Copies of this chain bind each other. A is one copy, B any other.
């Protein structure tokens, strides 16, 4: 696939990279209100899931669900939100977001206007304290499973 120079997700290194495989990159999103916010970025410049081959689509979803599983295990959120939007950057990337009843927007989406509360600040601190463990678990899982690619 083409790598348009104007596409920020086609860069050789992405901000917040945790894991990079031959197929995808897992990044810590820069979303201060939602520290449990991970993105899985497909490396090829493709806009829609149904433009991928069956095999690639399966591999990408497998990565998304592996992230969800590790996120649930380490961060223990009340809910996980999954989304592939791409309206601003039409290059496939999945948002995998740990949500808590006391986070800054719950039960609204993280794309809805946030109502910051004291409780949400405590939630941010609690989640930040777990981030190293979470990232280590992601690295361990994906390095183990994707070293051959």
Q: Number of contacting residues on A, CB 8 A?
A: 29
Q: Which residue of B lies closest to A67 (CB)?
A: B50
Within 8 A of B (CB), among A73-121: 79-88, 90, 99, 106-109, 111-113
Q: Which residue of B lies closest to A68 (CB)?
A: B50
Q: Which residue of B lies closest to A47 (CB)?
A: B79
A61 at the binding interface (Cβ < 8 Å): yes
Chain A 32-69 against B: per-residue CB contact (8 Å), 1 yes, 0 no?
A: 00000000000000011110000001000100010011
Question: In the complex this chain forms, how many copies of it are found?
Answer: 2
Contact assessment for B83 and A82 in the assembled complex, using a CB-CB cutoff below 8 Å: yes
**Footprint of B on A, CB under 8 Å?**
47-50, 57, 61, 65, 68-69, 72, 79-88, 90, 99, 106-109, 111-113
